[in-house]
Amino acid sequence: MKIAVLDWYTVNISGDIPVSQLEELGEVRVIPLTKPEETAANIGDADIVLCNKVLITREVMDACPNIKYIGLFATGYNNVDTAYAAEKGITVCNAGQYSTNAVAQQTFAYILDRFSRIRDYDAAVKDGQWERSPAFSYFPIPTSELAGRTLSIVGYGSIGRKVAEIGHAFGMNIVVSTRTAPADCPYEVTDLFTAAEKADVLTFHCPLTEQTKGIVNSELLSRMKSSAMLINTARGGIVSEPDLAAALNSGTIAAAYLDVLDKEPMSPDTPLKTAKNCTITPHTAWAPFETRQRLVDIVCSNIRAWQNGSPVNKVN
């Protein structure tokens, strides 16, 4: 079978994952990145299409009649017209739960950065401030313990659960806001506004849907403590960037840590670029080597299952 990989660069930017695993499954053509107008041509006569963010539309599927299977290097699949794929008998499979540990880890990297102020103290030391200190210990920048603080988690899938588990280990009070109340949740479950009001840390681990689009807005932010921090490692679209920038610049909340933005790569026009106490990483929470290798393993396993007539992780 012929396999077209449309945006391998998004999975393997540093070249540390070989394509040999994919080559065991068929004749592979690897394209680093695909522009929208190149999609159909880059797929060509391939039977299997693998992609991360490339749009696979009705028009693309009609232009490429050989497509039998679309595999995603991602959990989300909103870039594929899954309904039309089903009409055409094309199987679409995603890769779920590959990034749970990595995203939870980065969430706590943000939290510890804010509460322990490691970067700030490193900068102070290198500026010579400790050398000039009259005392052996120099701590003009306030730090805080996590124990006893409230960690409010929006979304209680695999990542939300892992974040709750780690927060509990730190002695934090866990509050969960989720669309449907989980039967096995040992923590307080409440509505979004109550979770925001209680939060010392408000972190988002929910999908982007019509219901969650723009839920981080001026109304929600106004209910948070002025000392609270907000984290978004979910999808950029859940945040109103102008509203969050205004909240940071006015001191409505203390800080924001973001790994995702509404437009990626980041637009130079986003007001968050210059907002006060706003730390932005370039969508890296999912990017550890082990995480990406696990992702490729899942994608390959999905293809094998489909080839054997028993598809798994099917979304259409």
* Helix 118-126 vs helix 100-116: crossing angle, to nearest 10: 50
Whether 235 is catalytic: yes
Catalytic residue among 114, 149, 235, 294: 235
Whole-angstrom distance, CA of residue 312 vs CA of residue 17: 23
Catalytic residue among 117, 168, 179, 283: 283
Inter-CA distances, 310 with 70, 305, 313, Å: 15, 5, 10
Answer for the pair 3, 46: CB distance below 8 angstroms, yes or no. yes
Whole-angstrom distance, CA of residue 174 vs CA of residue 163: 10
Question: Is the sign of the CA dihedral 265, 267, 272, 278 positive or negative?
Answer: positive
Answer for the pair 99, 286: CB distance below 8 angstroms, yes or no. yes
Answer for the pair 103, 205: CB distance below 8 angstroms, yes or no. yes
Inter-CA distances, 234 with 100, 109, 120, 228, 261, Å: 12, 15, 26, 19, 9
Whether 283 is catalytic: yes
Whole-angstrom distance, CA of residue 14 vs CA of residue 28: 19
Whether 24 is catalytic: no
Catalytic residue among 38, 219, 264, 290: 264
- List, by residue number, the catalytic residues: 235, 264, 283
